[in-house]
Amino acid sequence: MNLTLFDLDNTLLSSDSDFEWAQFLITKGVLDREVHEAKNQDFYDAYKAGALDIHAFLEFQLAPLARHSRAELDAWHREFMAASILPRISTAARVLVDRHLQARDLCAIVTATNSFVTGPICREFCIPHLVATIPAHVDGQFTGAPRGTPSFREGKIERVEAWLESLGLWWGAFERSTFYSDSLNDLPLLARVSHPVAVDPDDTLRAHASKLGWPILSLRV
């Protein structure tokens, strides 16, 4: 059996779902444009530079979830999927995922973006497992805080290993383990699998992949 892991933002998607969700809420008037747009961009720039303070970012990103009912959030997310996500899924990304699913690999999306935002996107790809940052909730109401280790940088390895353990598996259970990612932030998990693949990589990851002979591919239209 093979293990195949997919990063989501700027890998299977041609954009960042965390960034797009905040922009969507700004456009709807749920978040104040003057206050939130610059901060959203600053956090995104820090992420791309490999300098993101994940806890400060989650405080910013999860707070709006706590101020609204789940029914209202779910309705907004359906709009978000149609307007901001589906147009950013390429045919090439769908073909790549389907190839691994047809091969009966154990497949998961592994993403730093929270599971509320990414759950429906994972289901759109028909990928059965999601390893994501978990927004804490009480009786169905989000608290605005994360639960457990954020699925970010080395935290992705911790969360993947916990997920595998929950299935009675570990890295050695697989003939081949593959991880597709675009980001320098994913270098820890890329180095952990047997077959790392750089997808439309940032400059740092491209240089690293070229030096080590990792495959580099593009899923962009």
Residues carrying an active site annotation: 7, 9
Task: Catalogue the long-range contacts made by 83-86 (C-beta closer than 8 Å, 24 or more residues apart).
Answer: 83/24, 84/15, 84/17, 84/20, 84/21, 84/23, 84/24, 85/13, 85/17, 85/20, 85/121, 85/124, 86/124
Which residues, 6 or more positions from 61, have their beta carbon under 8 angstroms from its beta carbon? 18, 21, 22, 43, 114
Residue among 166, 193, 199, 161 nearest 179 (CA): 193
* Secondary structure E strands in the chain: 2-6, 106-114, 129-138, 141-147, 176-181, 195-199, 216-217
